[in-house]
Chain A
Amino acid sequence: DADVTQTPRNRITKTGKRIMLECSQTKGHDRMYWYRQDPGLGLQLIYYSFDVKDINKGEISDGYSVSRQAQAKFSLSLESAIPNQTALYFCATSDFRAGGSGELFFGEGSRLTVL
């Protein structure tokens, strides 16, 4: 089983619908992240969480919200999806105890299409 699991892997929805992308991890890491990938733009940070009670906005948080339900679970919500939120979304984790090495462990991505 994958260490970082994202569901769903693919989703097609309509403008205005509420969407939740879920992420769970078995690595025991304290830090979790949501990134968005668009072709030719690299990855952009949406939200990150250092623990259950510590959630922070990233570079492009407008239109998104998150919930850290447990150390192992971090969900991303689009309250009212719009077409320019069509993208590939990645969840990632890292271990603070690694001393700030910066290594992230990624899920396999959730491809979202908003029509």
Chain B
Amino acid sequence: AQSVTQLDSHVSVSEGTPVLLRCNYSSSYSPSLFWYVQHPNKGLQLLLKYTSAATLVKGINGFEAEFKKSETSFHLTKPSAHMSDAAEYFCVITKGGSNYKLTFGKGTLLTVNP
């Protein structure tokens, strides 16, 4: 069975400093991996996705993630945090080609301090 583990339930950074949100995955198949963001009182929005093309994936709002098969990781990064980045972030895995069987991580709450 496929699964994702978000290693931190809460990450706190200062504005202007780098962001690192960690996600490890487990899958018997070639996975597709995603990061979604949820701002307060909003639905989830896709940040970026990996679907077996380039291992370094760029998303919206300056975020990027690198698929590392040897480390079974898909960590989300951003060079410089903005106050507007404060939100909850979800790492998501799906079996390749089966986009209805998504498995969500438990989420990482990102706090950005002024």
A residues touching B (Cβ–Cβ < 8 Å)? Answer: 4, 31, 33, 40-45, 48, 50, 90, 92, 94, 96, 98, 100-104, 106-109
* Contact yes or no, A42 B102, CB < 8 A: no
* Contact yes or no, A101 B51, CB < 8 A: yes
**Residue ID in chain B nearest A42 by CB atoms:** B104
**Known contacts being A33-B100, A94-B99, A108-B41, is A43 close to B90, with CB within 8 Å?**
yes
Chain B residues whose CB sits within 8 angstroms of the CB of A43 once the complex forms? 44, 90, 104
* Contact yes or no, B43 A94, CB < 8 A: no
* 28 A–B pairs (Cβ distance < 8 Å), ordered by A: A31-B100, A41-B106, A42-B90, A42-B104, A42-B106, A43-B90, A43-B104, A45-B102, A48-B100, A50-B100, A96-B99, A98-B99, A100-B96, A100-B99, A101-B49, A101-B99, A102-B49, A102-B94, A103-B46, A103-B49, A103-B99, A104-B36, A104-B44, A107-B43, A108-B41, A108-B42, A109-B41, A109-B42
Q: Which single member of A48, A101, A106 contacts B43 (CB below 8 Å)?
A: A106
* Contact yes or no, A102 B34, CB < 8 A: yes
* Contact yes or no, B46 A109, CB < 8 A: no
Q: List 12 extra interface pairs beyond A43-B44, A100-B96, A108-B41, CB under 8 A.
A: A40-B106, A40-B107, A43-B104, A90-B43, A94-B100, A101-B32, A101-B99, A102-B51, A103-B46, A106-B44, A109-B41, A109-B43
Chain B residues whose CB sits within 8 angstroms of the CB of A31 once the complex forms? 100
